[in-house]
Structure 1
Amino acid sequence: MWPAPFELIYAGRVLKPSYPIRTDRLILRPFTPADLDPLHAIQSLPEVSRYLYWGPRDAEQVREVLETRIGQSALLEEGQALSLAVELASTGELIGDGVLFWHSRLHRSGEIGYVFHPAHHGRGYATEVGRALLKLGFDGLNLRRITGRLDGRNEASARVLERLGMRREAHLVENEMVKGEWTDELVYAILQREWRARR
């Protein structure tokens, strides 16, 4: 198990990870301007955005996204997101990203998400990143509840959340219009005490 990769300032309960964060096979780190081309190689693929709100992005759109993500390396206030580039430790290749949202200080709630290049699907990397994000949320930010939301057709992502010990709490039928069609949404969640019991 990797060491606690964060600094806590208890007066305001903020999360400033100590980078890089290393898992068994991956390195999680802040985004940098050098990530533009590999990030574009991921986000320009139609299969990557199939179950997401956005479609394939051109270079300029990815540049704008990257500028935002570069500034998301710590959680200082509720409503913010922590965006992490995911590299293969063995090669340094950027293969995807993970995100931890801090929704509410009062309710101590957050959400995780992840996106990977299709060439790296099916190898357990999303589960590995999910575990790291849960640790950051529960140990680093002392969240009480973390959710994961996904398109109801995304069976592979649902299996990832289940492997993380998250329970399916809702199946919302045709609740959103996404890219011109009504889509179902699944909501998964896990409580801090449940996550700690699993460890």
Structure 2
Amino acid sequence: MTAPTYPIETPRLLVRPFADKDLADMIALYAIPEVLRYLYVGKRPDAEVAKSLAERKAKTALNTEGDKMILAIEEKASGQFVGEVVLVWLSETHRSAEAGFIIHPAFQGQGFAREAILPLLRFGFEVMNFHRIIGRCDGRNAASARLMAKLGMRQEAHLIENEFIKGEWTDELAFALLDREWCALQG
């Protein structure tokens, strides 16, 4: 099993596996229209969110292509649920992965997403030996695009109306970071 030691501790956060105690926070997070706006999913029944939590609890390691690490973000000082981060192993042959994040609006704009995703990028490049980690977002999601740029990812594409989501055509922005770029950023 290839996984970080949990919890991953940052100055302000614990990045950890999901637990049963996260259900109410997940239900609340996935009911916020602002959060759902750029996601593929819409408002779901509580039972569906509970099923999603059960699946997340098992996604804590990367063993083979296709595996996902989906981790909860908790603020250390308050114990509050901040959101989630994900690292998906896309291809063994191409040594590639995808990173993502969802942050509760109450915690947005404070650097929590960056602080939580950096350890996953470090794990991806330095432990998993990925060559390339991508990030994608809805073309209207300026905050996510800014974050990926701050992480050192370069925008590689702006795909115009490439997906039909929730009844409308949406653009997609694609970002990427290579292992040599990661090393350069680490000094």
**TM-score, normalised to structure 1's length?**
0.91
Offset of 1:44 from its aligned partner?
1.3
Deviates more, 1:133-142 or 1:160-169: 133-142
Aligned to 1:17: 4
1:170 maps onto 2:157 in alignment: yes
List aligned pairs for 1:90-105, cutoff 5 A: 90-105=77-92
State whether residues 44 and 58 of structure 1, in contact with CA within 8 Å, keep that contact through their aligned partners in structure 2. no
Which residues of structure 2 form unaligned runs of 5+?
none
The number of residue pairs the alignment matches comes to 186
**How many angstroms apart in 2 are the aligned matches of 1:57 and 1:195?**
37
Offset of 1:176 from its aligned partner?
0.5
Aligned to 2:52: 65
**How many angstroms apart in 2 are the aligned matches of 1:108 and 1:171?**
23
Which residues of structure 1 form unaligned runs of 5+?
1-13
Offset of 1:58 from its aligned partner?
2.6
Aligned to 2:13: 26
Offset of 1:136 from its aligned partner?
1.3
For residue 163 of structure 1, what is the amino acid of its counterpart? K
Identity of aligned residues (%): 49
1:45 maps onto 2:46 in alignment: no
**How many angstroms apart in 2 are the aligned matches of 1:99 and 1:181?**
26
**How many angstroms apart in 1 are the aligned matches of 2:119 and 2:63?**
19
State whether residues 26 and 89 of structure 1, in contact with CA within 8 Å, keep that contact through their aligned partners in structure 2. yes
Q: Stretches of 4+ moved more than 3 A in 1?
A: none
Q: What do residues 37-96 of structure 1 show as CA deviations (whole Å, max 9, x unaligned)?
A: 111111111111101101123311210110110110111111011010000011111110
RMSD over aligned Cα, in angstroms?
0.9
Q: What do residues 84-110 of structure 1 show as CA deviations (whole Å, max 9, x unaligned)?
A: 000001111111000000001110000
Matched position secondary structure for 2:161: strand
